[in-house]
Every structure is written in structure tokens, then in C-alpha cells.
Amino acid sequence: MGILARSGYELTPRAEEAEVLVVNTCSFITPAQKESVDTILEMAEYKKFGAVRKLIVAGCLVERYREQILEQIPEVDAVVGTGEVERILDAVEGELRALPAQRPAFLYHDLTPRLLTTPRQTAYIKIAEGCDHPCTFCIIPQLRGGFRSRRFESVVREAENLGRAGVREVTLIGQDTTSYGEDLGLRDGLPLLLEGLAQVPELCWVRFLYCYPNQVTPRLLETIALYPKLVKYMDMPLQHASRRVLARMKRGSHGDAFLKLLERIRATVPGITLRTSFIVGFPGETQADLEELCTFVRAAEFDWMGVFCYSDVDNAKSFALDGKLDEEVIHERRNRLMAIQKKISTRKLKARVGQRLPALLEGPSKENEVVWEARLEGMAPEIDGKVYITDIEAPADSAAAQPGDMVTVEITESHAYDLVARVVEVLDASRRLEQRPTVQGSTPNPLRQIVTGAPLRILA
Ligand code: SF4
């Protein structure tokens, strides 16, 4: 989107007024593939009437089904794989239907034009791309290529630019953030990077997602504990607790080792919020494996937990494994695990009632404009629960609160996954900035270009 905006294209969220439609696809699991194909077909309908001149398919689905997309959906004019992001202009402007495939090796940097789509106060920074782990259920290494890190200075510069433009919170992402820097010859790459980002004056919160459990080092934990700007939060997908299932997943380890690791994490970073995710219904998962996982979840007491139902992907290694389970059984197992977690979450959130805590104010809720949303540092954007502020205009000192403000909230009510609170104080409102970043990179006045310099309108 940044590349297109910098070249003068106007972006629109309304398909009916776009001249070029870009469908960015996911191909991680079967439901995501289905959703991607459904969206392509839905967008193809716009070619029959309206302004649409071109339909472009981008992203992971292209890495898997490049030829099939072009052969079977004739409305598609061009495809752009994950390694070809910078060719989006060729796809929009050129006549080529199929650009020759490039290896998925693209990695953006601080000068790559980038349009942020997150609320003004928060931004993701991708610090690495690809993965070298052999998890048998996962095709990300095939879609995204081998693990490669962005350069240290590039990440820090991007964070500084975002901070200057009004971003208060950055969330570092990558398929495996804990391996950051290994390919650059950096030891303790992630702790070093976190230390660097903790010095960026405008940022209030720095978090990272997707740790690989056996790469959580004492140095990483000590770094999180040391710097106030590094949120006391860790997202560590464990996938299962049964040694048998983890071995078949080619991830190794087992529940007891994970419990010891959790103990170490909690001892080094007191009060840390822990998130994980599991897959249930992996081929060969027995009732005993599930019981082991349930016992583990009760003992581990995570703050947030996601449970995914295993689904076959034809070129994942687990596709060839025996012992496939019925969809119904898999869903029951998921529900059972989530019911255990719901009780844990309810109890943990209840203990928060009456506490006064810092929160990042996000603005009116999408569902109900009179209710505002905020997040505590233990709540990552989009994936965890939220704090709902119901009296945003009531207290005199909160009347001036604006989205993007750091505030102190008092928790007044708790639910299974969310909290209700009132604002008692606006912290540091003087640092508010009027304008959010639109496009990073060397663009003279990106906002003006997006609004006025538009030969084409593009839905992305
Ligand atoms: S570590 Fe994550 S991205 Fe890498 S192969 Fe395993 S599940 Fe896939």
C-alpha cells in the first residue's frame, strides 16, 4: 500500500469505486485458503460492472497456487507472491498477467514505503521473515522462505520514525521473534534489539509476539524485567503439552519442561502476563494426550490462550500422518480446553477489580460508539481482551481524554475475557500529536498525494 500511495495512487476501502482491486491472501490453513478464494471470486464479480479494470491477487495463496489461480480464475489479471511485494507497481501498470515467480525473500526496511492501517497510537514492526523450524503442521517455511532478520539499525530507525509520528506502542512480529539476529551473527539478538527500542523516547510500550519456547533465554527475561518500556508480556505458542504429540509435531519438549520454564519466567519477571496457543486434534492425538493438555492448562494458568482446531493442509508433513480425527471430535476438544481457560481468565480478571492501572486509550468501540476501548500493558492489540470505558465523559479530568492517550484507569467490573473501567487520570497528554504517520519512506507529502494525485483508485 505504501508503494502504491507513494506513486500517487489513491487507496479506497470501497470495491465499487476502485479501478484496481488487490486481494491480499492467506494460505496458512484450509479455512484461510477458502476465505481467500471466496474473496477473489467476490471481487471478480466487480469486473462485470463498475469501474474495475484490473484484479490482482497477492500474498501466500500465490506462493502455493500461482498457476491454478491464473488458469482457473480468468478474471485475475496478475499475481504477486510474498517475494514480489515490490512488483505491485508492475502488476498495476503492466500488461503482464503472470510475472515470473521470485523466491520468497522479500524483507522490507525503514525506507520501504509503508502505509499503516492500525489506529494511530499503535504499530506492528516486522523484525524478521520466514522460519527454519520443522513443525510438521506448518507450511510457512514453504510460503515465506527461510528465516532472515532485518538489520538492527533499520528496525530501530523505523521505531524512532513511528514514535516521532505519534505511535506510542510497537509490537514486534515475525514467525519466530526469538531467533532474531541469529542469521546476522548476533548473539542475544532479541534482547539487544529490545534494549535499543527501550531507548526510543516517544514510545511507551514495546512488546513482541511469537516466542519459540526453547529460545527463551535468561538474558531475554532479564532484559524484559529491566526496562519499564518493555511490557511485562510474553506470547509463547506451545502448541501442545503431550510429549508424544509434540514429537509428532517435530517441536519436542513436554508439559513438565514448559511448567519449569513458566516458573522461571514468572520468577524473573514478576507479574508478567502470559499468552499461548495450542492445536487440538493433531493426527494421532489420543484422549490421554488431551487429558494431559487439560491438566497442563489448569496448572499453567495462562492469562490468555488461543486454541486452534487442526486442519489438514495438503503439502504439510502432517498431511501424511495416520490417526486423523473427526472434525466434530476436534471441535469438542477445543471447546473443552477453552472452558477450562474461561474459568482461569474469569478468576484472574476478577482479581483486578478495584485496581488502578495504566492503560492506552484506543477510542470509541466499533460496536458501540458511547463505549471507549483501552488496553492494559498485558493486553496485546487485536488478540487479547480489552478494557471498556463506559463513562468517558463523566469525570472532569477525563473529559479531555483522546484516543492515543496513556491514562490511569480504575477497574470497576470484570467479565470472562474483558474488563470495565473508568478513567481517573490522563497521563502525559502533552505528547499528543495531531498527525498520524501515513507512509514511511522518502515521500514529500504522502497524505496530499493520496488525496489528490490519483490516476487510479485501488482497493487493497
Ligand atoms: S515455528 Fe511457527 S512458523 Fe515456524 S514452522 Fe513452526 S509453527 Fe511454522
* 250 part of a folded domain: yes
Å from CA of 133 to ligand 1 middle: 6
Residues 23/46, Cβ–Cβ less than 8 Å: no
Query: Residue 86: its pLDDT value, please?
Result: 86
**Main-chain dihedrals φ then ψ at residue 182, nearest 5 degrees:** -55, -45
What's the CATH number where 382 sits?
2.40.50.140
> Is pLDDT larger for residue 225 or for residue 447?
225
Structural domain tally of the chain?
3
What's the CATH number where 65 sits?
3.40.50.12160
| Exposure class string for 218-227: b at 16+ Cβ within 10 A, else e | eebbebbeee
* 457 part of a folded domain: no
Å from CA of 135 to ligand 1 middle: 6
317 CB less than 6 Å from ligand 1?
no
* 438 part of a folded domain: no
175 CB less than 6 Å from ligand 1?
yes
- The per-residue pLDDT for range 255-281, each reduced to its tens digit, is 999 999 999 999 999 999 999 999 999
Report helix, strand or coil for 281. Answer: coil
- The per-residue pLDDT for range 419-457, each reduced to its tens digit, is 999 999 888 765 554 444 445 653 333 332 232 223 344
* 456 part of a folded domain: no
Residues 274/303, Cβ–Cβ less than 8 Å: yes
Final residue of a structural domain among 306, 330, 350: 350
**Residue located nearest, by CA, to atom 2 of ligand 1:** 175
Å from CA of 238 to ligand 1 middle: 11
Q: What angle do CA 207, 213, 214 make, to 5 degrees?
A: 125
Q: Could you tell me the maximum CA-CA distance found in the chain, to the nearest angstrom?
A: 64
Å from CA of 175 to ligand 1 middle: 6
Contacts of residue 237, defined as CB under 8 A and 6 or more positions apart, other chains included, come to 210, 211, 276, 277, 278
Final residue of a structural domain among 103, 130, 156: 103
Report helix, strand or coil for 110. Answer: coil
- The per-residue pLDDT for range 105-138, each reduced to its tens digit, is 678 888 888 888 899 899 999 999 999 999 999 9
135 CB less than 6 Å from ligand 1?
yes
277 CB less than 6 Å from ligand 1?
no
Model-wide pTM > 0.85: yes
**Main-chain dihedrals φ then ψ at residue 81, nearest 5 degrees:** -80, 180
How, if at all, do strands 372-376 and 387-389 pair? antiparallel
161 with 244, same domain?
yes
43 CB less than 6 Å from ligand 1?
no
What's the CATH number where 318 sits?
3.80.30.20
246 CB less than 6 Å from ligand 1?
no
Residue 26 has pLDDT above 80, yes or no: yes
Cβ atoms within 10 Å of 452's Cβ, excluding its own:
10
Q: Which helix (H) or strand (E) holds 372?
A: strand 372-376
Provide the domain limits for residue 375. Answer: 356-431
Residue 239 CA: nearest ligand 1 atom is 7
pLDDT band for position 224 (cuts 50, 70, 90): very high
* 454 part of a folded domain: no
Query: Residue 437: its pLDDT value, please?
Result: 45
Residue 132 CA: nearest ligand 1 atom is 4
- Nearest-angstrom CA–CA distance, 141 and 1: 24
Pocket test residue of 29, 126, 140 for ligand 1, highest count of atoms within 8 A of CB: 140
264 with 163, same domain?
yes
Å from CA of 277 to ligand 1 middle: 12
310 with 178, same domain?
yes
* 453 part of a folded domain: no
Residue 175 CA: nearest ligand 1 atom is 3
Contacts of residue 100, defined as CB under 8 A and 6 or more positions apart, other chains included, come to none
Residue entry with cell 477458502: 34
Q: What percent of the chain has pLDDT over 90?
A: 73
Final residue of a structural domain among 350, 374, 406: 350
Q: Which helix (H) or strand (E) holds 189?
A: helix 189-197
131 CB less than 6 Å from ligand 1?
yes
310 with 186, same domain?
yes
91 with 120, same domain?
no
* 391 part of a folded domain: yes
Distances (CA, A) of 275 to 209, 235, 237: 9, 5, 8
Query: Residue 430: its pLDDT value, please?
Result: 55
324 with 362, same domain?
no
334 with 208, same domain?
yes
Å from CA of 173 to ligand 1 middle: 13
Q: In what order do the strands lie in the sheet with 273-280?
A: 233-235, 273-280, 304-309
Å from CA of 459 to ligand 1 middle: 31
Stretch 60-79: mean pLDDT, rounded? Answer: 92
296 with 365, same domain?
no
194 with 335, same domain?
yes
* 396 part of a folded domain: yes
40 with 94, same domain?
yes
Å from CA of 53 to ligand 1 middle: 38
Q: What is the mean pLDDT of the chain?
A: 89
